[in-house]
Amino acid sequence: MDGNGRWATERGKPRVFGHVAGVQSVRAVVTECARLGLGSLTLYAFSVENWKRPPAEVRYLMRLLRAYLRRALKTLMENGVRLRCIGRLHDLPEKTLAELRRTEAKTQHNQGLVLRLALSYGGRSEIADAVRRFGEDVQAGRAHPSEVDEETLRRYLYDPETPDPDLIIRTAGEMRMSNFLLWQLSYSEFYVSPVGWPDFREEALHAAFHDYAARERRYGLVPGADASAASE
Ligand code: IPE
Ligand code: MG
């Protein structure tokens, strides 16, 4: 979700104005993904790098997240959405983390879309944290280095159930990954929308899905080969 600040600046407003408008896009996109029957949606809400923003903006974003969670609970329940969080969650303010845990608990039995919020998240941090935890298990005699393969490492990621994304959408025109889901994105399709996040609503989402639907995914195989063979 990118472009909140620019969206606000273009309108002669402070950056936080863009974050407030961005919350409406979160509501719209989450509800639409649930309605369309998607299994998983991960929103990159706050990166490990974002802590270096001015403290007032960081505080505002954390407050906004708490307010979103409190207000969204009803809609999440109505739409069968299960909330999970990934990232260095212990770095979040206590009150924010408490609200996240509460929402995770309340939505844990929902059967529809799994909404993952990436918070204090970095793809490299995720891999480093996984390796550290694996090392701890080795030290404690619960694991052995010879076990390391892709599937074992995946089990140490923040949420091992995070599927490899079919599609990564970046808003506001930027053509970079910015440390998002580095482990999981090996074969993800990438789509860049010129639309800033506060304007990214159903229409822009549908445009991304239409673009994705026209692609041929080859997973390193030759054209026309059955892509499902890639996982065999
Ligand atoms: C994304 O918008 C929102 C968060 C990181 C929470 P930005 O705040 O990065 O907006 P720009 O990139 O400055 O326009
Ligand atoms: Mg940005």
Q: What is the pLDDT of residue 122?
A: 98
C-alpha to C-alpha distance for 142 and 155, rounded to whole angstroms: 14
Task: Please work out whether the CB of residue 1 comes within 6 Å of at least one atom of ligand 1.
Answer: yes
Q: Which residues contact 138 (CB under 8 A, 6 or more apart)?
A: 144, 145
Q: What is the pLDDT of residue 229?
A: 55
Neighbours of 71 (CB within 10 A): 11
Query: Which ligand 1 atom is at minimum distance from the Cα of 8?
Result: 14
- Does residue 158 sit in helix, strand or coil? coil
Low-confidence ranges of the chain (pLDDT < 50): 232
Q: Which residues contact 28 (CB under 8 A, 6 or more apart)?
A: 201, 202, 205
pTM of the shown model: 0.95
Q: What is the pLDDT of residue 232?
A: 46
**What spacing in Å lies between the alpha carbon of 89 and ligand 1's midpoint?**
20
**What spacing in Å lies between the alpha carbon of 101 and ligand 1's midpoint?**
25
Task: Please work out whether the CB of residue 199 comes within 6 Å of at least one atom of ligand 1.
Answer: no
Spatial contact of 41 and 114, defined as CB atoms under 8 Å apart: yes
Neighbours of 115 (CB within 10 A): 26
- Burial class of residue 78 in the structure, from the number of CB atoms within 10 Å of its CB (0-12 exposed, 13-18 middle, 19+ buried): exposed
- Looking at CATH, the fold of the domain delimited by 4-212 is given as Undecaprenyl pyrophosphate synthetase (3.40.1180)
Strand partners, 40: 114
Task: Please work out whether the CB of residue 3 comes within 6 Å of at least one atom of ligand 1.
Answer: yes
Active-site residue set: 2, 50
Q: Spell out the alpha helix ranges (H) of the chain.
A: 4-10, 15-36, 55-78, 94-107, 123-139, 150-154, 202-213
Q: What is the pLDDT of residue 224?
A: 76
Q: What is the pLDDT of residue 60?
A: 98
Ligand 1 site-directed mutation target among 4, 43, 51, most atoms within 8 Å of CB: 4
Query: Which ligand 1 atom is at minimum distance from the Cα of 7?
Result: 14
Of the candidates 32, 54, 59, 64, the one whose C-alpha atom is nearest the C-alpha of residue 201 is: 32
Task: Please work out whether the CB of residue 6 comes within 6 Å of at least one atom of ligand 1.
Answer: yes
C-alpha to C-alpha distance for 227 and 232, rounded to whole angstroms: 10
Token pair for residue 17? 């104005």
Ligand 1 site-directed mutation target among 6, 11, 179, 193, most atoms within 8 Å of CB: 6
Task: Please work out whether the CB of residue 5 comes within 6 Å of at least one atom of ligand 1.
Answer: yes
Task: Please work out whether the CB of residue 198 comes within 6 Å of at least one atom of ligand 1.
Answer: no
**What spacing in Å lies between the alpha carbon of 204 and ligand 2's midpoint?**
18
* Cα distances (angstroms) measured from residue 1 to each of 4, 99, 106, 159: 8, 21, 25, 20
- Annotated domain spans of the chain: 4-212
Ligand having the closest approach to the CA of 50: 1
